């Protein structure tokens, strides 16, 4: 499983970085710091490799993408990169807290492109 960390924007918004690829259902843009995995991610994109599972840590929540594919990568600010990924399913898990700040439960949400459902 490929494990990444960054901020995410889901599809259905404006066109991606250079206006070349519109984001639709089953796609997202990940903005992350460049690191040792950057080469592996670029290699997967160049070889059009399907990644069975990609976990993305977005702070308070974690996303797991199933059958993801890196479509485009662009370098932005020094040390940062943005990438567009397509996927078949996404699972989001976050921790729910009560009014006193105590952990109450892990909440999961699932969405499938094919089914178009939660």
Topology of 2-88 in CATH?
Pnp Oxidase; Chain A (2.30.110)
Q: Provide the residue ranges of all domains of the chain, joining segments of one domain with +.
A: 2-88
pLDDT at position 6, please? 84
Q: Within 10 A of 7 (CB to CB), how many other CB atoms are there?
A: 12
Per-residue pLDDT tens over the stretch 22-73: 455 678 888 899 998 999 999 999 999 999 999 999 888 889 999 999 998 9
pLDDT of residue 17 exceeding 60, the answer is: no
- Tens-place pLDDT, residues 75-96: 877 888 888 898 988 888 888 8
Q: Rounded mean pLDDT of 94-118?
A: 83
* Distance, first Cα to last Cα, the chain: 23
Predicted pLDDT at 74: 85
Cα gap 54→90, rounded to integer Å = 9
Mean pLDDT calculated for residue range 7-14: 65
DSSP letters along 13-55, please? SS--TTSSS---TTEEEEEEE--THHHHHHHHHHTT--EEEEE
The predicted pLDDT at position 24 comes to 59
């Amino acid at each position: 499983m490929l494990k990444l960390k960054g901020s995410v924007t889901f599809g259905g918004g404006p066109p991606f970085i250079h206006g070349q690829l519109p984001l639709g259902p089953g796609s997202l843009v990940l903005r992350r710091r460049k690191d040792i995995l950057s080469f592996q991610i670029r290699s997967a994109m160049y070889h059009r490799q399907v990644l069975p599972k990609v976990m993305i840590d977005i702070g308070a929540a974690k996303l797991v993408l199933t059958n993801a594919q890196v479509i485009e990568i662009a370098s932005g600010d020094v040390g940062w990169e943005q990438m567009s990924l397509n996927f078949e399913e996404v699972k989001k898990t976050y921790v729910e807290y009560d009014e006193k700040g105590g952990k109450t439960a892990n909440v999961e949400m699932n969405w499938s492109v094919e089914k178009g459902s939660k």
